[in-house]
Amino acid sequence: MKKELAKTYNPKDIEGKLYQKWLDKKYFRATVDRSKKPFTIVIPPPNITGQLHMGHALDNTLQDILIRFKRMQGYNALWQPGTDHASIATEVKIIEQLKEEGIEKQDLGREGFLERAWQWKEEYGGRIISQLKKLGSSCDWDRERFTMDDGCNHAVNKVFVKLYNEGYIYKGSKIINWCPVCHTSISDAEVEHEEREGHFWHIKYPIAGEDGYVEIATTRPETMLGDTAVAVHPDDERYQHLIGKNVILPIVNKEIPVIADTYVDKEFGTGVVKITPAHDPNDFEVGLRHKLPEINIMNDDASINENGGKFAGMDRYEARKAIVKELQDLGLLIKVENHIHNVGTHDRCNTTVEPLIKPQWFVKMDELIKPAIEAVKSGEIEIIPERFEKIYFNWTNNIRDWCISRQLWWGHRIPAYYCDGCGEIIVSEEEPSRCPKCESSNLRQDEDTLDTWFSSALWPFSTLGWPDNTEDLDYFYPTDVLVTGYDIIFFWVIRMVFSGYAHMGKKPFSKVLIHGLVRDSQGRKMSKSLGNGIDPLEVIDKYGADALRFTLITGNAPGNDMRFYWERVEASRNFANKVWNASRFIMMNLEKADLSTTIDEKLLTQAERWIISKANTLVKEVTDNLDTFEIGIAAQKIYDFIWEEFCDWYIEMVKPRLYNDEDDTKLSALWTLQHVLTTSLKLLHPYMPFVTEEIFCTLQEMTGLKEGESIMISSWPVYNPDWEFIRDTESIELIKEAVKGIRNVRSQMNVPPSRKAKVVVVSDNERIREIFTESKVFFATLGSASEVIVDKDKTGVSDDAVSTVIQGAVIYIPFEDLVDIDKEIERLNKEKDRLEKELKRVNGMLANPNFISKAPESKIAEERAKLDKYTDMMNQVLDRLKSLNR
C-alpha cells in the first residue's frame, strides 16, 4: 500500500518524527570533502541559562534557511553549533538556587561552587539546544561545542598568553563598569541604559580667595566627595579669568583647580562641570590629560568609603540625601530641577552600575582594531545592510582598551600567577611550579576570570580545532556568513573580526547579516518587566514550527525590527494547510499516472507553458534573493506563487482535463502538476522544512520518482532559459484578466457562484480569438460559464447582456433573468469616469513639452501604449452604454 498524506495537516504528527529521521540519517553532518565547496555558519552561542525567545527563533531561522538553501545547492554546508558558559548570568542563577537552599556562595568555596556550576551546566545547559531542535535547526549536532570545553579552554589560554607576550594584554587601574550587587566588573554589553526620572542639583562652588562662585549642575551629588577639578571650555569667554585659579569643594572644604578642556560643552547647562576622575569615564579621560588625582570614594557595595569623611559607611543614596541637606543648610544649593536621564543598570540584577577605578586586566586595542577597520572599509567583510557600517565604525573609531577580567568564579580563570616571594607575575598556559625569577614555589593564581566575550571572540576558529592545525580549520575557515542582531554588533562581531586577523591572519567570515528585534504587536521590546514576551515553544505547540518560522521571515527586511501578531501566525498556518491540501489533491490524481514516460512538449497547453514559465522565473528570482539575503522578499514571492498562481489558477484550470480520461493532454497536465509542486516544495523547504519534507517524501514514494530520500538533500531547482514561454504567459494573463472581470461583474450583481451563464468573447483580433478558443475548457470552469462562444463581432449578443472590457476584447454575459439594467448602466458610467481620468492624465503627460523632451523613450512609448489601450476601452464602454440606453 502506497503512502498517503493524512486528510488534515497536523504539525504534531510529523515534526518530531521527521527531525529524528534527519538526525538518524546524519543529514546535518558536514565532513571535509575537497570535491565540494564549503559553506560555513557558526551559531551565535546561546547562554546555558537561556530559554528560547523570539530573538533566538528569528536568528536561528535565518541561519537555517541559509544553510538548507546552500546544502540543496550542493555546498558542503556546516552549521557549527554550541553554547556559551555566560559567566555572570550563570553565576547569578546558581547563587539564587543556593540561597533557596540557605547556602551562601562563600560557604562552598571556589572548588565547591565550580562543582555546583558544572552540575548546573549538565542539567540545564542542553535545554536551549533541545528547543532549537524543535524549531527545526539543522546544525551538525555531532560537533556541538561549549565555550568552556577543553578545546575552547586551550584556545583561550593560548590567546591570553600570546597577547600578553606581544604586549597587548596588561594589568592596570582604569575606570570600569562595576556592579555593586554582583561585585564584579561588567562589559558594556551587560549595561542596559534606561530612562529614569531624576534631578539636576545646582551647587555653588566658591572661588578661592575671591567673592563669588561658579555654578555646577550634577545628577550625582554624592560623587562630589571625589572631585579633583572643575572644567570649562578653553574658548568660553565667560570663564577665561578663572582658568588656573582654584575653587573650594563644598563640604570637603579643599581647593581644587579650574582647568580648561574641550570636553566641556559651552552650550550645555552653566558651561562649568565638576571633574570626578574615579567615578565617570569621561572625567577619567580628562583627569589623565591634566594629571589630576583619582579619589575613589566608594566601596565595592557602593557604600561610601573612608575617603568620604563623615559620610563613610553610608549607602550611596543615603549619602546623597545627607549631602544635599548639608548643601542646603550651608546655603550652597541653588536649585533642584527635575531631569529625565539615561541610567546604566546591570542587565542581570537591575542594579545601577557605578563607574569605578579598579585594577583589572585589559587588552590594548589601538593596534589590534586596525585590521577590523580596514576589512570593512575595503569590502573584504561586507555588512548587510550597509547602513550598519556607520555603527561599526563609530565603535571601532572610538575604541577604548577592553577590560577582560571579571570578579567571578564561573568562567575561564586568568592564566596569571603571582610569586609571593618576589612579586613576579608569570603568565603561562600551564600552571608553573616555580617562579622563574626567584625559584620560589609559593605561587598563587589570579582569582579573576575572563570576560565571557573573550572566549566567544574566538568562536569561528576555536570551534574548528584551533590552535591545532586541523583539517576542519583549513577547509571550513574562514566561515561565510555570521547572522546576528544589531544589539550585539559592537560586543561580539567586532571582537571576532579583530581576533580572526590577530590569531588566524584571516577574516573570520565574509558577510555579516544583521537582523532587527522581534517586538510585540504594539512595537514594544519584549521583556519580563512588561510581561509581553511570547514563548516560541507555545507558538510551535499551537501552530507548528513551520508556521512560526514563516511568520518571522515574511515581511522581514535585513536590519529592521518586526512586530509579532498572532493573526500572522494563523495566516502562516493556513498557508501550510493550503500547500498540504493542494498536494493531497494532486496526489489523488497522480495515483494511476505513469510519469516515467517522456512528455511530448507539443501536448503542453497554454496553461502548462504558463505555469512552467512562472515557476522557472520564480526559481531564478528566489535564488537571486537568497544569494543577496533578501530572505523576506523571497518568502513573499514563494507564497504568492503557490497560493495564487499555482493553487488558485493553474490547479483550477486543469481540473476539467483531470476528470476526462479521453483528453490526450491529461498526462501532460499531471506531469506539470508534479513538476511544479516539486519545484515549489524545494523553494519553500528552507522556510518550512517539516511540511515540505512530509509532502515531498510521500510524493516520491507514490510516483516512484527518485529525487532523493529527503527534500533537504535533493537538488535546488535551477533556472532553465528554454522554459521561458513568454507568448503563452501573456495568453494566460489575458485569460486571467477576463476571468477576474467576469467574477467582478458577477460579484457586483450578487450572482450566486452555482449559477452558470453563457459567455461570449468578442474581439476583432484573430490572435485573441485563438487564445480564447484554445482555452475554452478551463476558461468555462474559471468563468462559471455554461457555454463559451468566441466571435469577431457581437452579432447575436442580446442588448441586455452584461459586459466586462479587457484589452482587445469585450466579454458579454447574457443574464436576461438576473441583470438589473440600471445597475449595469451605473457600473459602466463608473468605468467611464475612471477611463476619463486615466485619459486625461495620459493626454496631459503627452502634451507636456518637458515630459516629451526629458523622459526616456521607453517611458514615452509606455504612455502612448496606455493612451491606445484606454481609448479602445473607452470606445467599447461608450458603445455598451449607447446600446443599453437604447
Q: Confirm if 666 and 44 have CB atoms less than 8 A apart.
A: no
- Is the residue at 373 inside a domain? no
Query: 708, 724, 740 — which closes off a domain?
Result: 724
819 pLDDT above the threshold of 70: no
Q: Nearest to residue 40, comparing CAs of 384, 685, 483, 478?
A: 478
- Is the residue at 387 inside a domain? no
* Mean pLDDT along residues 426-454: 94
Q: What amino acid is encoded at 770 in this protein?
A: E
Examine the domain organization and report whether 258 and 334 are in the same domain: yes
Domain that holds residue 290: 195-342
Q: What are phi and psi of 758, to 5 degrees?
A: -65, 140
* Distance (Å, whole) CA 699 – CA 586: 9
pLDDT at 156: 98
668 pLDDT above the threshold of 80: yes
Beta-strand relationship, 809-813 and 802-806:
antiparallel
Examine the domain organization and report whether 870 and 809 are in the same domain: yes
Examine the domain organization and report whether 698 and 789 are in the same domain: no
Three-state DSSP at 501 gives helix
* Mean pLDDT along residues 369-380: 97
Examine the domain organization and report whether 715 and 843 are in the same domain: no
Using N-to-C axis directions, what is the helix angle for 11-24 and 536-543, rounded to 10°?
A: 110
707 pLDDT above the threshold of 70: yes
* Distance (Å, whole) CA 347 – CA 226: 27
Evaluated on CA atoms 558, 564, 568, 570, the torsion sign reads positive
Examine the domain organization and report whether 625 and 767 are in the same domain: no
Q: What's the whole-model pTM score?
A: 0.85
- Is the residue at 14 inside a domain? no
Examine the domain organization and report whether 758 and 704 are in the same domain: no
Grid coordinates of 177: 563598569
Q: Which residue has the cell 535533493?
A: 714
Q: Which CATH number does the domain housing residue 863 bear?
A: 1.10.287.380
SS (H, E, C) 688-709: CHHHHHHHHHHHHHHHCCCCCC
Angle of CA points 294, 298, 299, to nearest 5°? 125
Question: pLDDT tens digits, residue range 264-314?
Answer: 998 888 899 999 999 999 999 999 999 999 999 999 999 999 999 999 999
816 pLDDT above the threshold of 70: no
Examine the domain organization and report whether 784 and 851 are in the same domain: yes
Examine the domain organization and report whether 760 and 711 are in the same domain: no
Residue 528, annotated as binding a ligand: yes
More confident call, 629 vs 591? 629
Grid coordinates of 174: 582604569
851 pLDDT above the threshold of 50: yes
Examine the domain organization and report whether 641 and 787 are in the same domain: no
pLDDT at 750: 66
Examine the domain organization and report whether 776 and 701 are in the same domain: no
pLDDT at 362: 96
Q: What amino acid is encoded at 636 in this protein?
A: Q
Examine the domain organization and report whether 841 and 695 are in the same domain: no
> What are residue 406's DSSP bridge partners?
449
Query: 703, 724, 745 — which closes off a domain?
Result: 724
Q: Which CATH number does the domain housing residue 329 bear?
A: 3.90.740.10
* Distance (Å, whole) CA 81 – CA 463: 9
Share of the chain above pLDDT 70, in %: 98
Question: pLDDT tens digits, residue range 761-809?
Answer: 899 999 989 888 888 888 888 888 888 888 988 887 777 788 889 888 9
450 pLDDT above the threshold of 80: yes
More confident call, 680 vs 397? 680
Examine the domain organization and report whether 781 and 671 are in the same domain: no
* Mean pLDDT along residues 357-373: 95
817 pLDDT above the threshold of 50: no
pLDDT at 799: 74
Using 50, 70 and 90 to split pLDDT, how confident is the model at 1? Answer: very low
More confident call, 111 vs 195? 111
pLDDT at 492: 87
Query: 342, 372, 387 — which closes off a domain?
Result: 342
pLDDT at 595: 72
Per-residue CA distances from 209 to 241, 242, 333, 341, 758 (Å)? 14, 12, 20, 36, 107
Using 50, 70 and 90 to split pLDDT, how confident is the model at 698? Answer: very high
Q: Which CATH number does the domain housing residue 620 bear?
A: 1.10.730.10
- Is the residue at 366 inside a domain? no
- Is the residue at 708 inside a domain? yes
* Distance (Å, whole) CA 59 – CA 879: 60
Exposed e or buried b per residue across 809-838, where buried means at least 16 C-beta atoms within 10 angstroms of its C-beta: bbbbbbbeeebeeeebeebbeebbeebeeb
* Mean pLDDT along residues 685-698: 97
Q: Domains in the chain: how many in total? A: 3
- Is the residue at 521 inside a domain? no
Q: Which residue has the cell 596569571?
A: 416
- Is the residue at 235 inside a domain? yes
pLDDT at 155: 98
- Is the residue at 34 inside a domain? no
pLDDT at 786: 82
Give Cβ neighbours of residue 179 (< 8 Å, ≥ 6 apart): 185, 186, 346, 348, 349, 351, 353
pLDDT at 821: 66
